[in-house]
Amino acid sequence: MTKIPGSGFSCFKYGIVLLRFIYCGDVVGRPGREAVLNNIDFIRKKYVPDAVIVNVENAAHGFGVTPGICRDFLDKGIDGLVTGNHVWQQRDILSFLNENKRIIRPLNYPEDLPGRGCMEINLPDGRKIVVVQVLGRLYMEAVDCPVQAINKVLKNYVLGKNAAAILVDIHAEATSEKLAFGYYLDGKVSAVAGTHTHVPTADARILPQGTAYITDVGMCGNYDSVLGFDIQEPINRLARRYTGMRLSPATGKGTLWGIVVDTDDNSGLATAIEQISI
């Protein structure tokens, strides 16, 4: 791929103008934050993306995110931040969700809650990337229907017309729900990326109608752990059913997991998806 002077980071492939974005999975604690922040310059140099989006769901000691942590990512050039079901666990984030348009919470929470579930990333060349997040409902807390929620958003955006690319994060437990959601949106959005379960899956592919899909992007955090957390408390809960201690993020070096997605400017559909691990 080659950079086109004066037009952002667009690339030509076989005469097709492409858009490229990177999505990094759930950041868990300090190891996850450092894995992203210390490698973002390398990522931009290696992959030359038009935008980088990061899920900061567990960035604040494993539970939610604070305005200060958000600013650390945004000041480093991250284009958009996505959260998840732990978004409400740091109370000082509530006003930030309303004030800053570069962070979203799940779309299918009640509409009168702080924040928004959809954001637009406007590129320097005039193109627009739309990012949406929904929560799954299997084995999760009670929320509104993710299909009805996403249908309302998609009435406002058409791939290849007023949206160069649309990324949808489904933050869910069940692989079956994520897969069904991916096929439901196949051909309607550029990519459907699963998060929340913190384990990268080996099924990154392009679905039949042109939507890139992966069941779980994986986390950014210390993988010598249980989903990014120190192993002892999860072992205690497994062996003794005793949950008296709080989960704490594992210390040590983190690994960044994410995906790189290329889309065709004419259709907005995916031409490639690749997993990255650093």
Q: What is the chain's length? A: 278
Q: How far apart are CA 199 and CA 83, in angstroms?
A: 17
Q: In the chain, which residues have pLDDT < 70?
A: 1-16
What pLDDT score was predicted for residue 46? Answer: 97
Rounded to 5°, angle at Cα 176 from 272 and 32: 60
What pLDDT score was predicted for residue 237? Answer: 87
Name 262's bridge partners.
20, 272
Which is the catalytic residue, given 86, 171, 196, 198? 86
φ and ψ at 93, to 5 degrees?
-80, -15
CATH architecture, domain defined by 19-277 = 4-Layer Sandwich (3.60)
Q: How far apart are CA 46 and CA 197, in angstroms?
A: 27
Q: How many helices (H) and strands (E) does the chain have?
A: 7, 13
User: Among this protein's residues, is 61 annotated catalytic?
Assistant: no
What pLDDT score was predicted for residue 16? Answer: 57
CA torsion, ordered 98, 104, 110, 113, to nearest 10 deg: -20
The enclosing H or E element of 133 equals: strand 128-135
Record the pTM.
0.92
What pLDDT score was predicted for residue 3? Answer: 32
What pLDDT score was predicted for residue 242? Answer: 72
Q: Enumerate the domain spans of the chain.
A: 19-277
